[in-house]
Copies of this chain bind each other. A is one copy, B any other.
Amino acid sequence: MEFIKSNPDGLKFYLNDSKFYFKSGESISQLVLAFEEYGHFNENKSNVILIHHALSTHSHVASHELNKNKGWWDNIVGKGKAIDTEKYYVICINNLGSCFGSSGPSVINPEENFLYGSDFPEVSFEDVVHSQKFLLDFLKIKKLYAIVGPSLGGMISLQFSILYPDFVERLLSISSSARTTPANNANRAIQREIIKLDPNWKNGKYIQNPLKGLKAARKLGILTYRSVEEFNERFDAESSANISGEEKDSVTKVESYLEYNAAKFAKGFDTNSYLTILRMMDIYDVRSELTKLKAHTLIISVDTDRLFPHEQQREIYTELEKLGKPVRYIIHESKFGHDTFLIETDTIGNYIKEFLEKRIDNE
């Protein structure tokens, strides 16, 4: 049985009582996906845009009638905005394995009447995509006008367009990647190790979220979200005149910045979910499958991105270009590094708008 129920704040839940099988062979007895909708279907449902969210965010892309809280892309999604909800029906689904309403380690296993916790199956990008396809089918969506994903979201978008090439007309990958790299793996390996140092971790069977470990791990992630230049500029200004040996304001300032942002994240994020998603990224590499792609594609990269360097993103473009696929590539200059898509929303919005409005001709 599949059905949808709605919360008063506009958060919807898709429930499917058939067993959901993961790529690993494991299964869960019920699939739940939390999602939010913006705008309306047109007559033949040909105006659907699927947005994939990043690691730390959720389905609340933008504020709406039932939930006025700011979304993570408020400046980009809405009436008259780059992704215009007067024109498009927009849907964003909390990723399988995450912790904002969808099936994942932090929800209750109906068979055990207890949280899945670290027993939740290993999640792959394919699993995330397949779970979303169930929901889209249930909504009788036959084709996506566009699929848009920043960061981890872009990796899901790419995986989606590879698994369902005829389902996706336009693909927009922002500050994303077609593969994990050893440098990324190293960073994540250390994050895992840090979390496991927290005495509250208890081998994943924690009662209290191991906040200290999660926070310290997250800080390591945060280091890669901004450029060195931006970091130095922001925290160095007042200290540059100081003489060696004096306590630097910048040390304290940097520590406060990391603490504030990591604490904000850790307060709302389940550690087992975090580890599930890190693991998923560890085993991601779709380079050899790009040949399946049919969508018109735009790759947007940022020159100072430390997490997914622009060279890696150019690889996707070069590969698609070589395969004769319709693809464009933008390298955007900004000091804000990987986080640019959350900050320079005007410029990023313009790229998106232009891409969405471009007519696609059959070659």
Which residues of A pack against B, CB within 8 Å?
23, 124-126, 159, 180-183, 185-187, 189-190, 193-194, 197-199, 212-213, 216, 219-220, 223, 228, 231-232, 234-236, 239-248, 250-251, 253-255, 258, 282-289, 309
Contacts and interface: CB of A to CB of B under 8 A. Distances in A.
Contacts of A241: 288
Copies in the complex: 2
A254 B183 CA distance: 8
Contacts of A213: 197
Contacts of A232: 181-183
A243 B182 contact: no
A248 B282 contact: yes
A186 to B, nearest CB: 5
**Main secondary structure on chain A at its contact with chain B?**
helix
B183 A239 contact: no
Given A197-B198, A220-B220, A258-B189, A182 B244 contact: no
A231 B255 CA distance: 28
Nearest to A198: B197
A225 to B, nearest CB: 11
30 contacts: A124-B244, A124-B245, A125-B245, A126-B244, A180-B248, A181-B228, A181-B236, A182-B231, A182-B234, A182-B235, A182-B236, A182-B254, A183-B223, A183-B231, A183-B232, A185-B254, A185-B255, A189-B219, A189-B254, A190-B219, A193-B216, A193-B219, A194-B216, A197-B197, A197-B198, A197-B212, A241-B288, A242-B288, A243-B288, A244-B289
A311 to B, nearest CB: 9
Given A243-B288, A244-B126, A258 B190 contact: yes
A283 B254 CA distance: 13
Nearest to A257: B186
Nearest to A158: B244
B187 A223 contact: yes
A250 B182 contact: yes
A287 B228 CA distance: 19
B245 A23 contact: yes
Contact of A197 (B23, B190, B194): B194
Most buried by B among A182, A185, A193, A197: A182
Contacts of A248: 180, 185, 282-283, 285
Contact of A185 (B186, B235, B243): B235
A194 B223 CA distance: 15
Contacts of A220: 190, 220
